[in-house]
Chain A
Amino acid sequence: MMLSQLILTLLAGGLLAWLSERRGAAWPRQVALLTLLAALVELAWLCGSLPWPDGAALVASEPASWLVHETHAWIPRFGIRFALAMDGLSLALLALTLALGMVAVVASWSEVQAQPGFFHANLLWTLAGALGVFLAVDLFLFFVCWEVMLVPMYLLIAIWGHEQRARAAMKFFLFTQAGGLLMLVAIVVCALDYCARSGHWSFGYFDWLRSPMSGAMSAWVLAGFLAAFLVKLPAFPLHSWLPDAHTQAPTAGSVILAGVLLKTGAYGMLRFGVALFPQAAREFAPLMMGLGVAGVLYGAVLAFAQTDFKRLVAYSSVSHMGFVLLGIFAWNALAWSGAVMQLVAHGLSTAALFTIAGALQERLHSRDMRAMGGLWAALPRIGATAMLFAIASLGMPGLGNFIAEFMVLAGAFQVAPWLCAAATLSLVTGAVYALSMLQQTFHGPLQTGARYPDFGARELFAMGALALGLLWLGLYPQPLLDLTAPVLAAIDAHALELRP
């Protein structure tokens, strides 16, 4: 019951935030913040009350060995159930989602003037969809949540976005939806295959794990799943929606897009792609690792060429998510842990960078770095936080991103040394774009004489929390690794069982 309650909290909170607009423009954001806080407390309380089974006992296809699971009948005609379950991996991503949700609300505290009620409602609904994606263990439900994330995010970009919002929102929706439709067909084919083998319909993840699909069809089905996940991640040739969407979205939208929605693609790949079709996934691995490395380098090079602050951060996301793709398909414990670590670390650092970009845009009404310069003198607090997160993003040891990328590279080296060597180049290119961003924006002579307010206590608190998170991941990553390693080990063990 607890897991669906979590999703319901956000859905109801969204409705409440919308309605509360009548009481005053300040209400919706407070309601949204409280809703997210309540959900976080619920999650913490749930974790506190759990028996915490031994991690080694986790079996991917055994719901009882997961932390929590719940299931209700939904559409018996097709054996579709409203089934949710949580393990360590889901828990880490849930916590990330809720925390970044709060950052998003804080980041757009004063930015959104028009229709604040509907804005916060859409924000919470997108997050509710993301929670559903991280919890669903029925593939039909997974698909529904996948799409539920999409519509409110489309509205966030389309209504509150910047000057090119129509094009960006449309591109975002069409890309993700086209991938989603292919995934829908893949899910249906998989369900039909299960039905043909077992005589009854089921979309249940555990059923599919126990009776896996094999043969030539499974490669096609995996390709359908990957179509959705690679678009969302995004991987190299399918990324073109991302720079537009991230740049044009309002600050909170960018934070959620980069911090949470991109992660659903990686999560889907691990949880569904690799676990359900291990043989086919192994066949795809070289291609996927190649795409990952291509994304790493291509994103970094393009990031360097940008003059738009947000666009630069957006391309750096393409580069960082390339590491995730490389890590997942390098397929060993080290690389997988690194990929998961990268999900969390990239979420925190990019959320912060987008918040800073939003703060600059709100003050200067521009994202053009050529018009900035010397801002450190005018906005020392923003400058200092920007420096911290920029060096986190370039992979400075001591911060989470370094650990993540190091683990991915160390893992990938065992499998594909040359690809790994190529990806390592990004440590140089990453430094180039991150430092040039800092230099163009904050160093040099001050370009503008106007005075702007610096970060206040509210923003500093949010930034401080993100920085602490990154420091914690960088200095003592073991708790996160301990939380997720059993899950990854269970998926790997399941894949091994199926090896011919």
Chain B
Amino acid sequence: MNAALLPALAPLAILGLGTVLLMAQVAARRSALTSPWLSAAVLALALGAAAAGWPRDAVAATPLLAVDAYARLFSVLIIGAALVTVLISGPWLAPLGSEQHEYYLLLLLATFGAVVLVHATHIASLMLGMETLSVALYALIAYPDKTWLPIEAGLKYLVLSSAATAIMLFGFALLYAAVGELGFAALGARLAHGDPMLLGAAALMVIAGLAFKLSLVPFHMWTPDVYQGAPIPIAGYLATVSKVAIFAALLRWYQVSGLARHAAIVDILTLLAVASMLVGNLLALRQANVRRLLGYSSIAHMGYLLVPLVVYGHTAQPQLALEAASCYVVTYAVSNLAAFVALAALYGTGGADPACDVEHLAGLFWRQPLIALLLCTALLSLAGIPLTAGFVGKFYIVAAGAEVQLWVPLAALLIGSAIGLYYYLRVVYAMTAAAPAPQPSIPGAAIGARTLCVALVALVFYLGMYPQPLIAALRGMF
């Protein structure tokens, strides 16, 4: 490792050192004030380092990590989302008193894992990043209290996720046995010469594991429970950071190894995509709970996200498909984060499990206009209504799919979007209804939370109305 690599790895180094520093601070003095601010400062610093964008050229930092525009863009997204999570976690943790510090420690650790993931160019770093992220998340999901919903969610995620990891690990072992390489580029070059039986088994196992982490049908069972049981900031973190990081790693692997050349993989992805789009949306229809609804809708969104990967398998010029995939990740993450920030602002008190029933949102537009506006914007963006960020992502996917005339996944996408509208609008409608007679009191949001709400609404509309800067950044990556 030479000195030139230091600035390149600055975001990772800051996150790593910051985690250690936070650990030392927590050990030395347990103050309710310092740990959130210290973690926010670490994240802000890392965000600055990632956004600064040096070095300009792509650098391979060891065979494990690549520092390039791709890694930087997703690092910015991940660290930004983590920062927002820290900012909205305060009210959730307040009832815990002095037990809240490790929460921030775990959050920084998970973010570190996620950032490693988006840099990964090797199965080993992929695995390390994914496990750092997941293990921290097990604890975070069950963190706040001892009621059974979070514990159930944490346990469910722990057991299923470990099983998925084990299967994936076995798949990697088979992969290594077949080709003798684990670096993405080298692995891709030798795939054609491996033992087909071994490779087939490996592919199935790895895809199953990744599909679990991305909550694709039929590996989606855990999603609604975890979304419902986890503390809202953590559910939001899981829905954005964890999905973004794993998808970004998958996309890089897919691209660098040329996995799209293998028709069988593309076919499996097509099946997963269509099933996720339809099943996720259909199941979301029946939900009375906003968090479960978002859980099922995220299954559908992961299905949309696979469409560009399928497109990639049908074209010689994957530029548009790659842009579409990364654009959709960004717009999905921003919209989803916005939705969870709104929920967190509504149920900021923590402690008892806030039900988040759609009915409880009745009249929100008149009681808490700002939060309602944020939630409404986020839902419209998830539904893909023009002028919001979500539309740009959806437009990209439709364009990519239409270019290679991939009508079946596109039809599933259209049907899914139409179904999606129904349940998103149901929430919007509930918010516009007249408030029920005994108004459940919702404490007014603090000034900081208000600023965050306004900023996120502005971001969703900015990306939707003027996407050119984002598109230019995405084009620079491939």
Q: Is A174 an interface residue (CB 8 A)?
A: yes
Q: Is B127 an interface residue (CB 8 A)?
A: no
| 20 additional contacts (CB under 8 A) given A144-B387, A147-B385, A169-B429 | A74-B468, A77-B471, A114-B434, A115-B366, A118-B365, A143-B386, A144-B386, A147-B386, A150-B385, A166-B429, A169-B425, A173-B425, A174-B421, A174-B422, A178-B414, A178-B418, A182-B414, A184-B398, A185-B410, A192-B402
Q: Which of B370-402 contact A (CB under 8 A)?
A: 380, 385-387, 395, 398-399, 402
Contact B421–A188 (Cβ < 8 Å): no
Closest A residue to B421 by CB, please name it. Answer: A177
Closest B residue to A159 by CB, please name it. Answer: B432
Interface size class of B (residues with CB under 8 A): 20 to 34
Q: Is B417 an interface residue (CB 8 A)?
A: yes
How many angstroms between the C-alpha atoms of A76 and B466 in the bound complex? 11
How many angstroms between the C-alpha atoms of A148 and B464 in the bound complex? 13
Contact A192–B421 (Cβ < 8 Å): no
Query: What are 15 sample pairs from A and B whose C-beta atoms fall under 8 A apart?
Result: A77-B468, A77-B472, A78-B399, A114-B434, A143-B386, A144-B386, A147-B387, A150-B385, A158-B428, A169-B429, A173-B425, A181-B417, A181-B418, A185-B402, A188-B395
- A-B CB proximity, top 3 nearest: A144-B386, A147-B386, A77-B471
How many angstroms between the C-alpha atoms of A75 and B395 in the bound complex? 12
Q: Which of A138-162 contact B (CB under 8 A)?
A: 143-144, 147-148, 150-151, 154-155, 158-159
Per-residue 0/1 for A188-208: is the Cβ within 8 Å of any B Cβ (1 yes, 0 no)?
110110000000000000000
Contact A158–B432 (Cβ < 8 Å): yes
Known: A147-B385, A185-B410. A177 touches B471 (CB 8 A): no
Looking at the complex, which one of B414, B425, B426 makes contact with A154 (CB distance below 8 Å)?
B425
Q: Which residues of chain B come closer than 8 Å to A115, judged between CB atoms?
A: 366
Q: Is A47 an interface residue (CB 8 A)?
A: no
Q: Which residues of chain A come closer than 8 Å to B421, judged between CB atoms?
A: 173-174, 177
How many angstroms between the C-alpha atoms of A151 and B385 in the bound complex? 9
Q: Which residues of chain B come closer than 8 Å to A169, judged between CB atoms?
A: 425, 429
Looking at the complex, which one of A75, A177, A181 makes contact with B468 (CB distance below 8 Å)?
A75
Q: Is B475 an interface residue (CB 8 A)?
A: yes
CB distance from B472 to the nearest CB of A (A): 8
Q: Which residues of chain B come closer than 8 Å to A148, judged between CB atoms?
A: 386-387
Q: Which residues of chain B come closer than 8 Å to A78, judged between CB atoms?
A: 399
Q: Is B99 an interface residue (CB 8 A)?
A: no
Contact A155–B422 (Cβ < 8 Å): no
Contact B402–A177 (Cβ < 8 Å): no
Question: Residue among B386, B403, B471 with the most chain A CB within 10 A?
Answer: B386
- Interface secondary structure of A, over-half rule: helix
Closest B residue to A140 by CB, please name it. Answer: B395
CB distance from B409 to the nearest CB of A (A): 12
Q: Is A170 an interface residue (CB 8 A)?
A: yes
Which B residues form the contact surface with A (CB < 8 A)?
365-366, 380, 385-387, 395, 398-399, 402-403, 410, 414, 417-418, 421-422, 425-426, 428-429, 432, 434, 466-468, 471-472, 475
Q: Which residues of chain B come closer than 8 Å to A114, judged between CB atoms?
A: 434
Closest A residue to B467 by CB, please name it. Answer: A75
Looking at the complex, which one of A77, A158, A177, A182 makes contact with B429 (CB distance below 8 Å)?
A158
How many angstroms between the C-alpha atoms of A178 and B402 in the bound complex? 17
CB distance from B411 to the nearest CB of A (A): 9
CB distance from B75 to the nearest CB of A (A): 23
CB distance from A215 to the nearest CB of B (A): 13
Q: Which residues of chain B come closer than 8 Å to A189, judged between CB atoms?
A: 402
Closest B residue to A114 by CB, please name it. Answer: B434
Known: A77-B475, A182-B414. A151 touches B366 (CB 8 A): no
How many angstroms between the C-alpha atoms of A158 and B434 in the bound complex? 11
Question: Residue among B410, B418, B434, B471 with the most chain A CB within 10 A?
Answer: B418
Contact B398–A185 (Cβ < 8 Å): yes
Q: Which residues of chain B come closer than 8 Å to A150, judged between CB atoms?
A: 385
Contact B417–A192 (Cβ < 8 Å): no
Per-residue 0/1 for A39-78: is the Cβ within 8 Å of any B Cβ (1 yes, 0 no)?
0000000000000000000000000000000000011111
Looking at the complex, which one of B365, B429, B432, B471 makes contact with A75 (CB distance below 8 Å)?
B471
Q: Which residues of chain A come closer than 8 Å to B387, judged between CB atoms?
A: 144, 147-148
Looking at the complex, which one of A166, A170, A173, A188 makes contact with B399 (CB distance below 8 Å)?
A188
CB distance from A180 to the nearest CB of B (A): 9
CB distance from B285 to the nearest CB of A (A): 12
Q: Which of A64-96 contact B (CB under 8 A)?
A: 74-78
Closest B residue to A76 by CB, please name it. Answer: B468
How many angstroms between the C-alpha atoms of A30 and B173 in the bound complex? 73
Per-residue 0/1 for A451-495: is the Cβ within 8 Å of any B Cβ (1 yes, 0 no)?
000000000000000000000000000000000000000000000
Q: Which residues of chain B come closer than 8 Å to A159, judged between CB atoms?
A: 432
Looking at the complex, which one of B385, B414, B425, B426 makes contact with A185 (CB distance below 8 Å)?
B414
Closest A residue to B410 by CB, please name it. Answer: A185
Q: Which residues of chain A come closer than 8 Å to B385, judged between CB atoms?
A: 147, 150-151
Looking at the complex, which one of A74, A155, A174, A177 makes contact with B432 (CB distance below 8 Å)?
A155
How many angstroms between the C-alpha atoms of A114 and B428 in the bound complex? 18
CB distance from A481 to the nearest CB of B (A): 35
Contact B386–A188 (Cβ < 8 Å): no
CB distance from B331 to the nearest CB of A (A): 14
How many angstroms between the C-alpha atoms of A110 and B366 in the bound complex? 21
Contact B468–A184 (Cβ < 8 Å): no
Q: Which residues of chain B come closer than 8 Å to A173, judged between CB atoms?
A: 421, 425
How many angstroms between the C-alpha atoms of A192 and B425 in the bound complex? 31
Looking at the complex, which one of B365, B380, B398, B422 makes contact with A151 (CB distance below 8 Å)?
B380
CB distance from A2 to the nearest CB of B (A): 21
Q: Which residues of chain B come closer than 8 Å to A118, judged between CB atoms?
A: 365
CB distance from A342 to the nearest CB of B (A): 29
How many angstroms between the C-alpha atoms of A118 and B432 in the bound complex? 11
Contact B422–A170 (Cβ < 8 Å): yes
How many angstroms between the C-alpha atoms of A322 and B475 in the bound complex? 47
Q: Which residues of chain A come closer than 8 Å to B467, judged between CB atoms?
A: 75
How many angstroms between the C-alpha atoms of A75 and B399 in the bound complex? 14
Q: Which residues of chain A come closer than 8 Å to B403, judged between CB atoms?
A: 192
How many angstroms between the C-alpha atoms of A78 and B425 in the bound complex? 30
How many angstroms between the C-alpha atoms of A150 and B383 in the bound complex? 14
Q: Which residues of chain B come closer than 8 Å to A76, judged between CB atoms?
A: 468
How many angstroms between the C-alpha atoms of A191 and B366 in the bound complex? 42
Closest B residue to A186 by CB, please name it. Answer: B402
How many angstroms between the C-alpha atoms of A177 and B416 in the bound complex? 12
CB distance from B187 to the nearest CB of A (A): 32
How many angstroms between the C-alpha atoms of A1 and B332 in the bound complex? 34
How many angstroms between the C-alpha atoms of A154 and B365 in the bound complex? 15
How many angstroms between the C-alpha atoms of A148 and B425 in the bound complex? 15
